[in-house]
A and B are shown apart, each in its own frame.
Chain A
Amino acid sequence: MTQEVRVDQKAAKLSLSYILVAFIGFGIAAIAGLLQGLDRAQLITLPTWLNYYQILTAHGVLMGLVFTTFFIEGFLFSGIARVQNGKLTPLGLKLGWVGFWVMLIGTVMGVITVLMNDASVLFTFYAPMKASPFFYIGAALIVVGSWIGGWGMFAEYRNWKRNNPGKFSPLFLFTAVATMTLWQICTLGVAAEVLFQLIPWSLGMVDTVNVLLSRTLLWFFGHPLVYFWLMPAYMTWYLIMPKIIGGKVFSDSITRLVFVIFVLLSTPIGFHHQLMEPGIDPKWKFLHVALTLSIAIPSLITAFTMFATFELAGRAKGATGLFGWFRKLPWKDARFFSLFLAMLWFIPAGAGGIINASNQLNQVVHNTIWVTGHFHLTIGTAVALTFFCVSYWLIPHLTGRKMTRTTNELGRLQAVLWSIGMIFMSGSMHTLGLLGGPRRTAGTTYMNDPTALSWIPFHKLAALGGAFLFFAAMLQVGLVLYLAFKAPKGEQEYPMGDVAEDAAETPRILERWPVWISVAVILILVAYGYPIADMIQNPPPGAPGVRTW
């Protein structure tokens, strides 16, 4: 693979369309985020036509579904083109575009119903709160569109395998397929919920809904969703970062192994979101807790691999001593600097995750704003900063422009502002959560309850963090628009790491998807088969829908 491979015009246009929608959604969501923080700190009072839960729904849907899913589709298509001489197949391109439009229509439907205050049910759309059917149909279209894009990527993979019989697929293609495989498996849960439960019920075709089943199907998807966000970030860390720091991909087989483990373990662990819930036997909950803790293993492997990559790159540049490599890293390069901060933030984020997953500790933090603090570190920082950093080189590469010195400096400033914002916001949210402050709750003192009053200073600190984050977000959107439309013409490299020459041979089994998908299905049947069958056969009394907002 030569250095100068460029993503061709057709693939670039597809990828760029996804990425621009992602950042527009992100920009709007950031405004909502700031307002939420200010409202909770009682620094502003929202006007009567705009309620807290409405903007929270918009923030959650735009950040959690639109920004992430659009960015991921765009990024993966670009990388797949990059490892195939810059080209996508006609079938891949076509499915990519169909997916794009279906997702966009779904997004618009969702956003309109939220703006009309017909869907203030948050992005978790908990039944029996009943939103407009258009909201559920919009959400379903976002998911279906992302499937179609995923089929485009599978088509690329099939095509590659056909043209290269018996060879290992390029790592980027393999990890992209792993990510999309996980996504196709886990979204079956939410698709079943939306298609068979929520849409018929919101249209008035059935009266009541099986709430426990709806929550279980939602969380069947809800946890793997976070790995769907994380895997493209890991792809950047494993495959792109080595090239940026002038090193090599540490190990082909370990990279494949980590992604296979995610495909296997991400889905059968959803009950850890339902630990405080009635109707589920504690033994089933425990099985999910144990599996959840095991998913720390790929993260441990990643921590090792990242430092090994740093050290090897540093030594190749002549670093000596135990930590000499540290100074050889390209700190002045925004493409690396943001990534490093993203990885650093993932360490406390992961530790928080272990706490959330533990069935007894969860009782302390469940549904408190600790959880919000936790995922603003994982997806809101580790993943988001990685995506920002990808945008700095990917967008100019796609538009035939160049990252300038100034964009580089602003990119580094962005990462610093974001980190400062998160120290305040996420730090306060974690503290408030331990004190018992609830999540998803508008500014309130519970009629001057002394406990709730004592939380206000932390809410103010969180709002201060929100202000930093808001400025950083606007800077990021500005950088994206500049790099897409205004930056000087030129060549910007698409960094794609090569595997170290002395890395050991990859075991064949890692490329056998039928094996891994079967194992994943078996694990899901073990973890979910009986409980879901039981919920369907012995349903709890149904709940009629209500609009409580």
Chain B
Amino acid sequence: MHIHRYEKYWLMFGGGIIIAFIVALFVNAFAMGMTPPSDLQRVDPKKVEQTAPFDKPGLKQVGPNEYEAVMVSFAFGYNPNQIEVPVGSKVTFISTSKDVVHGFQIPGTNVNMMVVPGHVNKVTHTFDKPGEYLILCNEYCGAAHHMMMAKVIVK
């Protein structure tokens, strides 16, 4: 098939950029360990309250400046709906859903994951600035979806 000379240059240029993107994303994900939230654990959505760690939702210190926040998502809220951590804390949010699919997002950070019934999902973030952070649900989950929220207070 005949391809015009300029078109060849254009495709080499564009194709080269795309390959560069793919390589950068590969290195980023697998060499630097920055894969998106993709936890593989499961939990029965009908038995969330009886299953560890969701039987005891809340904040747990797991190291110096390191916390785990176990937060159950449901229509239309999170349990607990407020946590407090000191500045500089590295917090791993762990969540599952008791009913439908929810989102878990903190505007102004890269915390953004799906919470799907039957599955556990996790995301980690270090809070370097004090303030009140909003946690919101960004996946439509029903009539009061726009009220589904929680707060992280960083002091």
Asked if B110 and A363 sit within 8 Å, CB to CB, the answer is yes
CA distance A510 to B119 in the complex (A): 44
Q: Pick the contact of A364 from B75, B112, B119 — CB < 8 Å?
A: B112
Question: Chain B's nearest CB lies how many Å from the CB of A222?
Answer: 14
Among A280, A446, A507: residue with most chain B CB under 10 A: A446
Asked if B18 and A548 sit within 8 Å, CB to CB, the answer is no
Q: Pick the contact of B108 from A212, A436, A507, A541 — CB < 8 Å?
A: A436
Given contacts A304-B7, A438-B137, contact A444 B119 (CB under 8 A): no
Binary A-proximity of B1-42 (CB < 8 A = 1, otherwise 0): 111101100110011001001100110111000111111111
Given contacts A126-B100, A285-B36, A435-B107, contact A279 B116 (CB under 8 A): yes
CA distance A120 to B140 in the complex (A): 10
* Nearest CB in chain A to that of B46: its residue: A544
Asked if B119 and A212 sit within 8 Å, CB to CB, the answer is yes
CA distance A300 to B10 in the complex (A): 8
* Nearest CB in chain B to that of A282: its residue: B35
Asked if A282 and B29 sit within 8 Å, CB to CB, the answer is yes
Q: Which residues of B contact A281 (CB under 8 A)?
A: 38, 40
Question: Chain A's nearest CB lies how many Å from the CB of B153?
Answer: 12
Asked if B22 and A293 sit within 8 Å, CB to CB, the answer is yes
Question: Chain B's nearest CB lies how many Å from the CB of A198?
Answer: 14
Q: Pick the contact of A549 from B1, B42, B142 — CB < 8 Å?
A: B142
Q: Pick the contact of B2 from A211, A253, A297, A549 — CB < 8 Å?
A: A253
8 A Cβ contacts from B103-133 to A: 103, 105-108, 110, 112-121, 132
* Nearest CB in chain A to that of B103: its residue: A367
Asked if B99 and A540 sit within 8 Å, CB to CB, the answer is no
* Nearest CB in chain A to that of B19: its residue: A293
CA distance A295 to B140 in the complex (A): 29
CA distance A422 to B17 in the complex (A): 29
CA distance A282 to B122 in the complex (A): 13
CA distance A543 to B120 in the complex (A): 14
The answer, yes or no, to whether A441 is at the interface (CB within 8 Å) is yes
- Stretch in B62-70, B83-91, B143-151 touching the partner: B143-151
Q: Which residues of B contact A212 (CB under 8 A)?
A: 116, 118-119
Q: Which residues of B contact A47 (CB under 8 A)?
A: none
The answer, yes or no, to whether B154 is at the interface (CB within 8 Å) is no
Binary A-proximity of B92-107 (CB < 8 A = 1, otherwise 0): 0000000111010111
The answer, yes or no, to whether A439 is at the interface (CB within 8 Å) is yes
Number of interface residues of B (CB under 8 A): 66
Q: Which residues of B contact A289 (CB under 8 A)?
A: 22, 25
Binary B-proximity of A297-321 (CB < 8 A = 1, otherwise 0): 1001100100010000000000000
* Nearest CB in chain B to that of A277: its residue: B114
The answer, yes or no, to whether B138 is at the interface (CB within 8 Å) is yes
Q: Which interface class (under 10, 10 to 19, 20 to 34, 35 or more) fits A?
A: 35 or more
The answer, yes or no, to whether A205 is at the interface (CB within 8 Å) is no
Asked if A279 and B42 sit within 8 Å, CB to CB, the answer is yes
Question: Chain A's nearest CB lies how many Å from the CB of B129?
Answer: 13
Q: Which residues of B contact A304 (CB under 8 A)?
A: 6-7, 10-11
Binary B-proximity of A364-378 (CB < 8 A = 1, otherwise 0): 101110000000000
Q: Pick the contact of B149 from A297, A442, A446 — CB < 8 Å?
A: A446
Q: Pick the contact of B146 from A128, A129, A443 — CB < 8 Å?
A: A443
Asked if B44 and A541 sit within 8 Å, CB to CB, the answer is yes
Asked if A447 and B149 sit within 8 Å, CB to CB, the answer is yes
Question: Chain B's nearest CB lies how many Å from the CB of A267?
Answer: 19
Q: Which residues of A contact B145 (CB under 8 A)?
A: 53, 440-442
Q: Which residues of B contact A364 (CB under 8 A)?
A: 110, 112
Asked if B114 and A278 sit within 8 Å, CB to CB, the answer is yes
The answer, yes or no, to whether B141 is at the interface (CB within 8 Å) is yes
Given contacts A294-B18, A358-B21, contact A300 B116 (CB under 8 A): no
Given contacts A297-B14, A546-B100, contact A444 B22 (CB under 8 A): no
8 A Cβ contacts from B35-59 to A: 35-46
Asked if A129 and B100 sit within 8 Å, CB to CB, the answer is yes
Q: Which residues of A contact B28 (CB under 8 A)?
A: 359-360
Asked if A358 and B118 sit within 8 Å, CB to CB, the answer is no
Q: Which residues of A contact B139 (CB under 8 A)?
A: 126, 367, 440
Q: Which residues of B contact A290 (CB under 8 A)?
A: 22, 25-26
What are 30 of the A-B contact pairs (CB < 8 Å)? A53-B142, A212-B118, A254-B1, A254-B3, A275-B36, A276-B37, A278-B121, A279-B116, A286-B25, A296-B18, A297-B15, A297-B18, A300-B15, A304-B6, A360-B29, A362-B36, A364-B110, A435-B108, A451-B107, A452-B134, A505-B2, A506-B1, A507-B1, A541-B45, A542-B45, A543-B45, A543-B117, A548-B76, A548-B99, A549-B143
Which 5 pairs, one residue from A and one from B, show the smallest C-beta to C-beta distance?
Answer: A436-B107, A548-B142, A504-B2, A540-B118, A438-B138
Q: Given contacts A278-B115, A360-B36, could you give 14 more A-B pairs where the C-beta distance is less than 8 Å?
A: A56-B140, A128-B100, A211-B101, A215-B101, A280-B38, A286-B29, A297-B11, A440-B140, A447-B149, A451-B107, A505-B2, A541-B118, A548-B141, A548-B143
